[in-house]
Amino acid sequence: MCAAVAAPLRLASRLALVTGGGSGIGRAICQRFAREGAAVAVVDLNDSAAQETVKLLSRDQPGQEHANFQADISSSEHVANLMSQIQAQYSRPPCISVNSAGITQDEFLLRLTEEAFDAVLKVNVKGTFLITQAVAQALVASGASHGSIINMGSIVGKVGNLGQANYAASKAAVEGLTKTAAKELAKFGIRCNTVLPGFIATPMTAKVPQKVLDKFAGMVPLGRLGDPSDVADVCAFLASEDSAYITGACIEVTGGLYM
């Protein structure tokens, strides 16, 4: 068995904004970024969850300050206030942004309500748009020479899934949004990429019966559900200069599912 290797300090002195940072994949991303030296602005609608994440973050580097912020990312007013608060706290905009916040309201197409459809797209698509736009605007205004925006899609956005017409549509839209942002922002040195998780063990999947989870795991060529840290590893790569020539990409983190 290979020994675990400590995370390199690829993100030292950088400021990262992570939405949905209060749990699951978002929390794992915050933890990985902190281990790699970044200061992390943890954003979540659930402020107590964001506070819990902040308590878990390492502070091994000089000036490595983490803070929690409460915001509804589907509200332009909330997002504007969030950016103002981050600017006041750190005196600079985040050069790394991960849009991990998202919701589901699953139902079969024949019974899916307009309200449930709108609610999922409002958070997953509009929220991703508002954060992407706000971070990009702040970076351009500051004269920053580089930035990395990482948006959380889903393999469901590529292949669909029973009972998730709204969620699949929202994640497909995130992919298109991110590719377009990558084309427009490249001239400013801002890279934009999408990560597509597959079946990941999170608080959301904890509500699923074990026999169903076992069935999912059996569909994955690598033979297991993903861990949030698997997604965080890819985000750390995309946030760092190790991926300096990658933009507009969609990276699947699925254990080989649907390949």
pLDDT, position 206: 77
Beta strands (DSSP E) in the chain are: 15-19, 39-44, 67-70, 96-99, 147-152, 190-197, 250-253
- Alpha-carbon distance 135 to 131, whole Å? 6
pLDDT, position 5: 58
- In the β-sheet with 190-197, what is the strand arrangement from edge to edge? 67-70, 39-44, 15-19, 96-99, 147-152, 190-197, 250-253
- Alpha-carbon distance 84 to 92, whole Å? 10
Closest CA to 174 of 152, 192, 189: 152
Question: If you ran DSSP here, which 8-state letter would residue 61 be given?
Answer: S
pLDDT, position 243: 98
Closest CA to 148 of 196, 105, 193: 193
Question: If you ran DSSP here, which 8-state letter would residue 31 be given?
Answer: H
- Report pLDDT digits (tens) over 102-158: 999 999 999 999 999 999 999 999 999 999 999 999 999 999 999 999 999 999 999
Residue 258 known to be catalytic = no
The SS3 call for residue 186 is helix
- Please, what are the domains in the chain? 15-253 (3.40.50.720)
pLDDT, position 4: 52
pLDDT, position 207: 72
In DSSP terms, 208 is beta-bridged to: none
pLDDT, position 205: 77
**Helices and strands: H and E segment counts in the chain:** 9, 7
Residues lower than pLDDT 70 in the chain = 1-7
Cβ burial, residue 113 (10 Å; 0-12/13-18/19+)? exposed
Catalytic entry in 90, 167, 245, 258 = 167
